[in-house]
Protein backbone atom coordinates (compact mmCIF):
# COMPACT_ATOMS: atom_id res chain seq x y z
CA UNK A 1 0.00 0.00 0.00
CA UNK A 2 3.08 2.21 0.08
CA UNK A 3 2.70 3.44 -3.48
CA UNK A 4 -1.03 3.09 -3.99
CA UNK A 5 -2.93 6.07 -5.30
CA UNK A 6 -6.02 7.46 -3.59
CA UNK A 7 -7.65 8.18 -6.94
CA UNK A 8 -6.68 11.84 -7.08
CA UNK A 9 -3.07 11.29 -8.08
CA UNK A 10 -2.01 11.49 -4.43
CA UNK A 11 -0.35 8.59 -2.64
CA UNK A 12 -1.61 7.11 0.58
CA UNK A 13 1.47 8.45 2.36
CA UNK A 14 0.81 11.99 1.14
CA UNK A 15 -2.82 11.83 2.24
CA UNK A 16 -1.82 10.49 5.65
CA UNK A 17 0.85 13.19 5.99
CA UNK A 18 -1.64 15.98 5.24
CA UNK A 19 -4.21 14.48 7.63
CA UNK A 20 -1.57 14.38 10.37
CA UNK A 21 -0.45 17.94 9.61
CA UNK A 22 -4.05 19.17 9.83
CA UNK A 23 -4.38 17.54 13.24
CA UNK A 24 -1.06 18.99 14.41
CA UNK A 25 -2.07 22.38 13.01
CA UNK A 26 -4.92 22.66 15.48
CA UNK A 27 -2.59 21.86 18.37
CA UNK A 28 -0.11 24.42 17.13
CA UNK A 29 -2.81 27.08 16.96
CA UNK A 30 -3.87 26.27 20.53
CA UNK A 31 -0.28 26.52 21.76
CA UNK A 32 0.14 29.80 19.91
CA UNK A 33 -3.04 31.24 21.45
CA UNK A 34 -1.93 30.29 24.96
CA UNK A 35 1.51 31.75 24.28
CA UNK A 36 0.04 35.07 23.11
CA UNK A 37 -2.21 35.24 26.17
CA UNK A 38 0.65 34.55 28.57
CA UNK A 39 2.87 37.01 26.70
CA UNK A 40 0.28 39.77 27.03
CA UNK A 41 -0.05 39.10 30.77
CA UNK A 42 3.72 39.26 31.21
CA UNK A 43 3.87 42.53 29.27
CA UNK A 44 1.09 44.04 31.39
CA UNK A 45 2.99 43.02 34.53
CA UNK A 46 6.27 44.45 33.20
CA UNK A 47 4.53 47.69 32.18
CA UNK A 48 3.03 48.12 35.65
CA UNK A 49 6.43 47.42 37.23
CA UNK A 50 8.18 49.91 34.94
CA UNK A 51 5.54 52.58 35.61
CA UNK A 52 5.81 52.08 39.38
CA UNK A 53 9.55 52.66 39.37
CA UNK A 54 10.85 56.07 40.29
CA UNK A 55 12.39 56.71 36.90
CA UNK A 56 12.26 59.77 34.69
CA UNK A 57 11.30 59.05 31.10
CA UNK A 58 14.46 60.81 29.91
CA UNK A 59 16.79 58.69 32.04
CA UNK A 60 18.75 56.80 29.37
CA UNK A 61 19.66 53.92 31.71
CA UNK A 62 16.07 52.72 31.76
CA UNK A 63 15.33 52.93 28.06
CA UNK A 64 16.41 49.29 27.84
CA UNK A 65 13.38 48.38 29.94
CA UNK A 66 11.08 50.45 27.77
CA UNK A 67 12.54 48.96 24.61
CA UNK A 68 12.11 45.41 25.90
CA UNK A 69 8.44 46.08 26.60
CA UNK A 70 7.90 47.83 23.26
CA UNK A 71 9.66 45.04 21.33
CA UNK A 72 7.57 42.46 23.19
CA UNK A 73 4.36 44.35 22.34
CA UNK A 74 5.31 44.52 18.66
CA UNK A 75 6.09 40.79 18.51
CA UNK A 76 2.96 39.87 20.49
CA UNK A 77 0.91 41.91 18.03
CA UNK A 78 2.51 40.08 15.10
CA UNK A 79 1.95 36.68 16.74
CA UNK A 80 -1.69 37.56 17.42
CA UNK A 81 -2.16 38.72 13.81
CA UNK A 82 -0.60 35.48 12.55
CA UNK A 83 -3.02 33.55 14.76
CA UNK A 84 -5.99 35.47 13.40
CA UNK A 85 -4.91 34.79 9.83
CA UNK A 86 -4.46 31.12 10.61
CA UNK A 87 -7.91 30.98 12.23
CA UNK A 88 -9.40 32.70 9.17
CA UNK A 89 -7.76 30.12 6.88
CA UNK A 90 -9.22 27.31 8.97
CA UNK A 91 -12.67 28.96 9.02
CA UNK A 92 -12.57 29.14 5.22
CA UNK A 93 -12.02 25.38 5.16
CA UNK A 94 -8.53 25.77 3.74
CA UNK A 95 -5.48 23.96 4.93
CA UNK A 96 -3.30 25.99 7.23
CA UNK A 97 -0.18 23.88 7.52
CA UNK A 98 2.30 26.69 6.89
CA UNK A 99 0.18 29.23 8.77
CA UNK A 100 -0.09 27.07 11.89
CA UNK A 101 3.69 26.52 11.88
CA UNK A 102 4.35 30.24 11.40
CA UNK A 103 1.89 31.08 14.15
CA UNK A 104 3.29 28.51 16.58
CA UNK A 105 6.92 29.48 16.01
CA UNK A 106 6.29 33.22 16.21
CA UNK A 107 4.05 33.03 19.29
CA UNK A 108 6.18 30.62 21.31
CA UNK A 109 9.43 32.44 20.53
CA UNK A 110 7.81 35.75 21.48
CA UNK A 111 6.57 34.19 24.73
CA UNK A 112 10.10 32.90 25.44
CA UNK A 113 11.78 36.24 24.72
CA UNK A 114 9.25 38.25 26.72
CA UNK A 115 9.37 35.83 29.67
CA UNK A 116 13.15 36.10 29.71
CA UNK A 117 13.00 39.91 29.45
CA UNK A 118 10.45 40.17 32.25
CA UNK A 119 12.66 38.12 34.57
CA UNK A 120 15.52 40.47 33.74
CA UNK A 121 13.39 43.62 34.12
CA UNK A 122 12.43 42.52 37.63
CA UNK A 123 16.06 41.81 38.53
CA UNK A 124 16.58 39.47 41.48
CA UNK A 125 12.85 39.79 42.22
CA UNK A 126 12.18 38.05 38.92
CA UNK A 127 13.91 34.95 40.29
CA UNK A 128 11.94 34.90 43.55
CA UNK A 129 9.73 31.86 44.08
CA UNK A 130 6.71 33.98 44.97
CA UNK A 131 6.73 35.55 41.51
CA UNK A 132 5.38 33.59 38.53
CA UNK A 133 8.04 34.85 36.13
CA UNK A 134 10.36 31.84 36.22
CA UNK A 135 7.35 29.50 35.91
CA UNK A 136 6.40 31.34 32.73
CA UNK A 137 9.95 31.10 31.43
CA UNK A 138 9.90 27.32 31.97
CA UNK A 139 6.45 27.09 30.37
CA UNK A 140 7.64 29.11 27.38
CA UNK A 141 10.53 26.69 26.87
CA UNK A 142 8.19 23.71 26.95
CA UNK A 143 5.81 25.40 24.49
CA UNK A 144 8.67 25.84 22.03
CA UNK A 145 9.23 22.07 22.02
CA UNK A 146 5.78 20.43 22.04
CA UNK A 147 4.00 20.03 18.69
CA UNK A 148 7.36 20.47 16.96
CA UNK A 149 10.55 22.34 17.75
CA UNK A 150 11.59 25.56 16.02
CA UNK A 151 13.55 23.60 13.42
CA UNK A 152 10.57 21.39 12.63
CA UNK A 153 8.39 24.48 12.22
CA UNK A 154 10.94 26.07 9.89
CA UNK A 155 11.22 22.86 7.85
CA UNK A 156 7.43 22.70 7.55
CA UNK A 157 7.19 26.35 6.51
CA UNK A 158 9.97 25.95 3.94
CA UNK A 159 8.39 22.82 2.46
CA UNK A 160 4.94 24.43 2.26
CA UNK A 161 6.43 27.34 0.34
CA UNK A 162 8.22 25.11 -2.14
CA UNK A 163 11.69 24.81 -0.66
CA UNK A 164 12.65 21.18 -0.94
Distance between alpha carbon 64 and the CA centroid of its chain, in Å? 23
Hey, where are the domains in the chain? Answer: 27-160
Q: Can you give the pLDDT at residue 42?
A: 97
Report the topology of domain 27-160.
Butyryl-CoA Dehydrogenase, subunit A; domain 3 (1.20.140)
pLDDT in tens, 93-146: 888 999 999 999 999 999 999 999 999 988 888 888 888 999 999 999 999 999
Q: Can you give the pLDDT at residue 126?
A: 83
Three state DSSP letters for 87-156: HHHHHCCCCCHHHHHHHHHHHHHHHHHHHHHHHHHCHHHHHCCCCCHHHHHHHHHHHHHCCCCHHHHHHH
The b/e string for 96-116 (b: 16+ C-beta within 10 A; e otherwise) is: bbbbbbbbbbbbbbbbbbbbb
Band of residue 2 on the pLDDT scale cut at 50, 70, 90: very low
> Is the pLDDT reported for residue 82 higher than 80?
yes
How many Cα atoms sit within 13 Å of 85 on the Cβ side?
Answer: 15
> Is the pLDDT reported for residue 71 higher than 50?
yes
User: Rounded mean pLDDT of the chain?
Assistant: 85
Q: Alpha-carbon distance 98 to 56, whole Å?
A: 44
Q: Alpha-carbon distance 142 to 15, whole Å?
A: 30
Amino acid sequence: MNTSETGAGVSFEQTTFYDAMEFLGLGRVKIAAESVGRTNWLLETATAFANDRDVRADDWKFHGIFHKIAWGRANAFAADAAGLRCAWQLDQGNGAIAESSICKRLATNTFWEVADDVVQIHGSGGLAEENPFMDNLYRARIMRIVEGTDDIQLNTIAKQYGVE
